[in-house]
Amino acid sequence: MNRIDNTLNKEGKLLSIYFTAGHPNLNDTVDIILKLQESGVDMIEIGLPFSDPLADGPTIQDSSTVAIKNGMNTNVLFEQLNGIRNRVSIPLIIMGYFNPILQFGVEEFCKKCNQVGIDGLIIPDLPIDYYEENYKSIFKKYKIYNMFLIAPQTSDERIKKIDSISDGFIYMVSSSSITGSKESFSSKQLEYFERINKMNLKTPRITGFGVGNKDTFNAAVNYSKGAIIGSAFIKNLESNGLKSIERFIKNIRI
């Protein structure tokens, strides 16, 4: 069974953390992963930096710019992740845009993911129909899950389609805007969460975008299996360094 499924089957609500590979420093990637596992997170999303991250807010965009300037690219990331499974047991997911994956070669990318122990991918700009027609068989060949996103504007029909072909979890985007932590969710966002809840989807959902503190984490997991924190974690890294990771996670979990 995929590590993602094993984790989703556990009792309790899950905390997933997103960070950009190669940020703040090029060689921080593995240290951040190890410290996150030690701090008790359930899953980790490793951001593959891209020069035009359309869905991301200023914090993640800036972290991508820094990572690229530091020298991070697809080959470097796979080199850094080589042997990671000797030290890390929790699910590892790469989140990135399709262009760098296409440039690398989709099959070669999935093969490398399999070799280093990546469990799944989140590719915000890969259309579900295009994936089904061209790449689904490759992902299955290398046992890589592909998680799709839904948002407030996604139609019920589309959500049901995504639910029918999803592996792992559905990434439930909390708003129609770009990434970035918020202090709380609006009544409109909570209505959206309720609407999705009432659809009784078979696939677990993990909420992202706008989750950045204990309050928003607790609100998000009232309507889903877990939540993803990205921008707030990256800001904390920039301000306080890797030594602050354990404290940051504890403040979310309290």
The reply to whether 132 belongs to the active site is no
Tokens matching residue 122? 């989140």
Please list, in sequence order, all residues whose beta carbon lies within 8 angstroms of the beta carbon of residue 128, skipping any fewer than 6 positions away: 148, 158, 161, 162, 165
Residue carrying the six token digits 């996670």: 249
Question: E-assigned strands of 96-218?
Answer: 120-122, 145-147, 149-150, 170-173, 205-208
Catalytic residue among 28, 56, 119, 167: 56
The number of CA neighbours under 13 Å toward the Cβ of 238 is 16
Look at residues 149, 156, 154 and name the one whose alpha carbon lies nearest to residue 54: 149
The reply to whether 108 belongs to the active site is no
Catalytic residue among 28, 45, 119, 167: 45
Tell me the catalytic residues. 45, 56
